[in-house]
Structure formats: structure tokens, C-alpha cells
Amino acid sequence: MDIYKNNVKMLKKCMLEEIKKYDELEKLQVNQENVFEKDGILFFTDGENTRQIYSKNQEKEIEILTQNIDPKKENLIFVLGIGNIEFIKRLIQDKSGMSKIVIYEPNKYILKYIFEHNDLSDVLIEGRVLLWWNCKDNTKDREFGYDLIAMNWTKLAYNIEVITCPAYIQYLSEFRRIFEAAKQKILQYFMALGNSLDDVLQGFQQNAENFIACMKTNNIYDVYHKYENMPAIIVSAGPSLEKNIDVLKEAQGKALIISCDASWTACKQHGVKPDAIASIERGVETYQYYFEGKQFDEDLVLLGPSLIWSQIYKEFPGKKIVINKNDDGVDGWWSSQFENLNFINIGMSCATVAYAVAELAGCNPIILIGQDLAFTGNKKHSSFTHTEFEGENNADEADGLMVEDIYGDMIPTDKYYNLFRYWFEDKIVANPDIQVIDATEGGAKIQGSTIMTLKDAVSQYCTKNKEKDLCDYLENREITPEEVKQKKERVLKEADRLIQKLYKTKKKTEDHYATLEKIYDRINEDMTQNQLIKAVKQMQKGDQIIQYMINQRDTITFFQQYITQTITYVKALGNELTPENVLKNLYAQGNLMGAVKRACVMLIKECEKLKETVEKEYGSYVEQQEG
């Protein structure tokens, strides 16, 4: 096998991007007009300018480029340029320890030349090196961030190092853009890990309170491709909704219209009858603000996760589609008890719930209105949707974050709105065949969307009548007391199994915590290397316990934040074996074991409470049926 083919074979193991990029590299022809060697130095020419890829004194260049890299720490190293292949090899073999390395090569001619002339078996190491190249389209930047998450390299977020090879200075702005996009994806990942334990527990109990709703729900896949190539309009509650909601009535019957819970009243006031209303927040305030006392039509469909405030499902008169918010953890455990409760990625806002359903229904285009994702005109919401319960409708909650708006100006937003924006942009990248039209007429710019006025979008795309309303595709779900009894007994049995797992986790963490206390008593600044090694080996039992917790898919939700934070902190300490580092590592492990132990005690109580709640909901249902 020739050098090039062998390199490509290795590349495919350590690059997670689409296969067509290999084809692009395969077809590329490199000749003296692009890349050449002279006097042992590699050069690149674009026909007008010729650049030297590395200096004559490579040893000095390598020394300078690696001077800030501590091989005793496990870093996440971003490198601009693969042209100085000796530097890359040295970095991987001698300078970086077991760090993870991302190489970005912006010049495809240099990349092809390196692949044709160098054996990269010491460079393209699976699990240690990612190679990205030639990213001219900034809508693709975020795909690189997915690689870091898929490789579980986010744990090195506190140990990032950046190396720019001198000859690549002209690509620096491009590299910065990609690097910032990757960092933002890491931040998004950490923010999306989940809510606080209190929030998780609240959702846990509200799942139980929605026991009957989870049995009676229609299946989200009942709407799969029912609106193939029909437009959808997502109505959100942003300040700009006031600019164009009066146009929305023109789309009635010619698009799948899904309102957020906060914007349903505005729709009603303007003579618009949505097909569905989407909700997501678990707090009682959502019920009080947007549902309590409202007169909803019976042909309106409610879309939401299984953990929203239970009175919403109990009082809503129409058909419901209850959606599982997560495919693993306690939400995955809960949904596995119910045949019609399925997972789709519904994101973190009412609008993302609505979008996810429209996407599953096959809608194209998907039109967004009121989706400011920023404080347009210094307001949080449209005056049409704002309630007296919410206090002042201003941007007091802005946290100093600024983003580009659709007009190219800067506008205030916050980290949550920004997170929602990234969700939409990720969807656009993941499914480019769906046209997303931002008809908000204000607010933050959503990269990859088409900006139009709502009037133009309705005129161009809302031209055919729907065959059926959404509710007509859904069954009238009825359940018998006997079915409810059987389901209750199954849930109680599975809850007991969950409790036993939690007891086992609690015992493991208690025992290891006791071991850590004994090690703590022995640690002092005069310890020898052998004594430190012995202590570390005893502490490594904690790694096994962490792996055990990670492998428990139905309970990992409870501990994910603790584990991620601990691993990230320990990675930042580095691998230098000193009493100080061992002590810091011990503290981190001890805090983790103590937190998990306390959480297990709480969770066991919550599981027992869940059983009581399910029993209560069953009893209420039977009593209601008999009454």
C-alpha cells in the first residue's frame, strides 16, 4: 500500500466528518505550482506569493512552539497547520504527554502534499488526534465542536492550549473563528448537561404526577411526515411579534401553526387558531400564567414533555402528545414504562419543542416569528404576550452578552437565549434540506436561516390548504382501570429495582469515602514517590466507581454534573506526582463520593415518594371513573 492510501486509511479512524471530504482530497492534484521543496524547506505558492512553511532551524521553531506545553498535564491542544510535520510529530511523541490534539489545516494543497510524501502513522493516532481542514463555510464550524463531544474531550476544557505555526498567520482569523465555535459548542454542552439536582427531582416527581397523561398520550410518531413539504409557522413571544402577528391570519389553514404557550393568547386576540400549543417549563408559574382559567378549543393539540406541571395535562381539554425529554437517565427510565412515550430532541424552549414536532411532521419550510432570542427594543417579550404576573417587561435580566441582529447591529441577549439560538443553528446544519425562514423581523441573527418578512413568507409558501388539522391525525385515547392498574404495578416494580441500584451506589461511595479518609491521614509533604504511588493506586478505586455510575443509564442523570465537574477539575491538576496534587485529587474525589452518597439518600426517598404518587394518581383515576 502506498503512503497516501495508508495515511487516508488512518485518517478515517481519527476524523469524524462526512466521507465526501476524503473524495475531495482524492481528486486534488498537487504540483510545483502549488507546493514544492527547495534546500530541504517546504514552500507554498499561489502563483503570486510564495511562503516558506517552516524555518531553516526547525529545532528552534519546535522549541518555541512547544514551550508552553506541560507534558505532565493532559491538555486539549489546538494546532494551526500541519505543514511543519516534524513539529507535529515531536509534539505528539515527546512534548505533549497524553494530551488530545486537534490539527486544523486550512490549505488543502499542503495537506495533500503531506499525505503523499510523509508516513503519518506517528501522527494520525486514533483517540488522540483529530484532523480538520479547509473550512470556508462558517455554518460548518459548529460541526467540529460535535467531534470534541463525541470523543469526550470536553473534560479537558480547562486545559486548552493553542499553537499557531508562523507560516500560517494569514489563516489566523479563520482559525480563531473555528476555535471560538468549538469552544462555544463545549460551553453549550456543559450548559445542556442538565438542571440542578433540585430541578431533576422536581421533574422526577412531576413525571409521576403525570402518570395518567403518559398512559393516554398520543405517540409523537403519529404525526411523522403527515405534513410533508407543507410550511409550518412557529409563533414565539418575542418583542418583534407585535410587528407582524396581524399577517398570521392569512396563513390560517395553509400552514401547520404551532404557538408557544406564552403566545397563544396573542394568536387568539388576532383571530388565529393554531393547530397546537407547545409548553416545556416545569414550574407552577407556567400553569398560572398561560393555562389556568383559559378556554382552549378541543381541537387544539398540547405538545410538551412528561414533566410539566400536572394540572396542565389534567385540565387541558384537547388531545395531547407527551414527549420524552431525554433518552437516557431517569427520563429514559420513566418513558420505558409507557408504549406511546417516545424521545425526540425537543431542545430547551417552547419554540424548540414546536420546531422539533414540525420537523418530524415533514414540514418545509419552517417559518419562525416572534423568535427574537434577544432583548429587542430593551424588551423581553411582546406586549401582546406579557402577563402581569411577570413584572416589568424590560431587559434587566440581560447579562452583558451582545449578538449580531438581523440588520447587522449589536443587540443585548443572555446565555439562555443564546443557547436556544445555537440549537436552531445546529438543526439547520444537521438538516440542510429544511429551509428555516426567520420572519421575526427583528432580534438575533440565526446563522443559516433565510431572513424574510412574514408577509412575503406567507405569500410565497402558504399557498395550498392543509388536508387535515393536526388533531384529526390523532386518536381519541381511552384507557381502562384494569390497564391503569397493570401499568401502576409495573412502575412500582421498576421503581423498587431503581432503589436497589441506588443502595448499591450509596454503599460503593461510602466505602471509598472511608478509604479516602485513611489516605488523607497519611499524606504529608515528606512522602516519597513510592508512598505517593501507593496512595494514588488506592484512590484509583474511585475511577471504577465513576465508571460504574456512568454505566447505569437510568440513574446517571442524577450524578452527571458531579462527575463531569470532578473529572474536569482533576484533569486540570495535571499528572505531576506531588503531595499537593495528590491531596487536591483526594479532596475532589472525596467531594464527589460525599455528594453522590447524600444524593442517593435523597433519591431513595424520592423513589419511595414516586411510588406513593403513582398509587395516588391511580386511586384518583379509578375514583373518577367510578364516580
What pLDDT score was predicted for residue 627? Answer: 65
Q: Which of 14-23, 52-61, 482-491, 583-592 has the highest mean pLDDT?
A: 482-491
Q: Which tens digits make up the pLDDT trace of 449-465?
A: 999 999 999 999 999 99
Helices (H) and strands (E) in the chain, counts: 22, 18
**Cα–Cα distance measured from residue 553 to residue 42, given in angstroms and rounded to the nearest whole number:** 51
Mean pLDDT, rounded, for 583-610: 89
In a domain, 601, yes or no: yes
The full 3-state SS of 442-506, as one line of letters, equals CCECCCCCEECCHHHHHHHHCCCCCCCCHHHHCCCCCCCHHHHHHHHHHHHHHHHHHHHHHHHHH
Residues 230 and 379 in one domain: yes
User: Which of 300, 316, 345 lies at the terminal end of a domain, its last residue?
Assistant: 345
pLDDT at 75 over 60: yes
What pLDDT score was predicted for residue 149? Answer: 65
Beta carbons of 395 and 238 less than 8 angstroms apart = no
**Cα–Cα distance measured from residue 223 to residue 280, given in angstroms and rounded to the nearest whole number:** 19
**Cα–Cα distance measured from residue 389 to residue 456, given in angstroms and rounded to the nearest whole number:** 35
Q: Which tens digits make up the pLDDT trace of 468-504?
A: 999 999 999 889 999 999 999 999 999 999 999 999 9
How many beta carbons lie within 10 A of that of residue 121, not counting itself? 11
pLDDT at 109 over 70: yes
Q: Check residue 392 and report its DSSP letter.
A: -
Residue 101: beta bridge partners?
Answer: 77, 129
In a domain, 475, yes or no: no
What pLDDT score was predicted for residue 19? Answer: 46
In a domain, 472, yes or no: no
What pLDDT score was predicted for residue 622? Answer: 87
What pLDDT score was predicted for residue 238? Answer: 92
pLDDT at 399 over 70: no
Residue from 581, 601, 591, 604 nearest 561 by CA = 591
The amino acid at residue 6 is: N
What pLDDT score was predicted for residue 460? Answer: 97
| 299/592: higher pLDDT | 299
Q: Which tens digits make up the pLDDT trace of 178-205?
A: 877 777 777 666 655 555 556 666 777 8
Residues 135 and 38 in one domain: yes
| 509/20: higher pLDDT | 509
What pLDDT score was predicted for residue 510? Answer: 93
pLDDT at 538 over 50: yes
Spatial CB neighbours of 67, under 8 Å, sequence gap ≥ 6: none
Residue 321: beta bridge partners?
Answer: 218, 303
- Alpha carbon of residue 223 to chain centroid: 25
Parent domain of 486: 481-626
How many beta carbons lie within 10 A of that of residue 518, not counting itself? 10
What pLDDT score was predicted for residue 225? Answer: 96
Residues 32 and 123 in one domain: yes
Q: Which three cell numbers stand for residue 235?
A: 409563533
pLDDT at 264 over 90: yes
Residues 211 and 238 in one domain: no
Residue reference for cell 496534587: 581
pLDDT at 29 over 90: no
Q: Which tens digits make up the pLDDT trace of 325-378?
A: 877 777 888 989 999 999 999 998 999 999 999 999 999 999 999 999 999 988
What pLDDT score was predicted for residue 38? Answer: 83
Percent of the chain with pLDDT over 70: 90
Beta carbons of 284 and 312 less than 8 angstroms apart = no
pLDDT at 422 over 90: no
pLDDT at 213 over 90: yes
In a domain, 498, yes or no: yes
Lowest-pLDDT choice from 122-126, 192-196, 306-310: 192-196
pLDDT at 548 over 70: yes
pLDDT at 110 over 90: no
Lowest-pLDDT choice from 104-113, 395-404, 439-448, 607-616: 395-404
pLDDT at 505 over 80: yes
Domain count, the chain: 4
Residues 242 and 121 in one domain: no
Residue from 607, 391, 340, 623 nearest 498 by CA = 607
Residues 209 and 334 in one domain: yes
What pLDDT score was predicted for residue 142? Answer: 56
Residues 90 and 206 in one domain: no
Residue reference for cell 385540565: 315
What pLDDT score was predicted for residue 391? Answer: 61
Global model pTM greater than 0.85: no
In a domain, 319, yes or no: yes
Residues 257 and 402 in one domain: yes
Residues 11 and 120 in one domain: yes
User: Which of 345, 370, 401 lies at the terminal end of a domain, its last residue?
Assistant: 345
| Helix or strand holding residue 51 (H, E) | strand 50-52
Confidence of residue 246 (pLDDT cuts 50, 70, 90): very high
Residues 486 and 586 in one domain: yes
Residues 130 and 177 in one domain: yes
User: Which of 290, 323, 345 lies at the terminal end of a domain, its last residue?
Assistant: 345
The burial class, CB within 10 Å (0-12 / 13-18 / 19+), for 591 is middle
What integer best gives the mean pLDDT of the chain?
A: 86
What pLDDT score was predicted for residue 134? Answer: 63
Residues 16 and 126 in one domain: yes
In a domain, 121, yes or no: yes
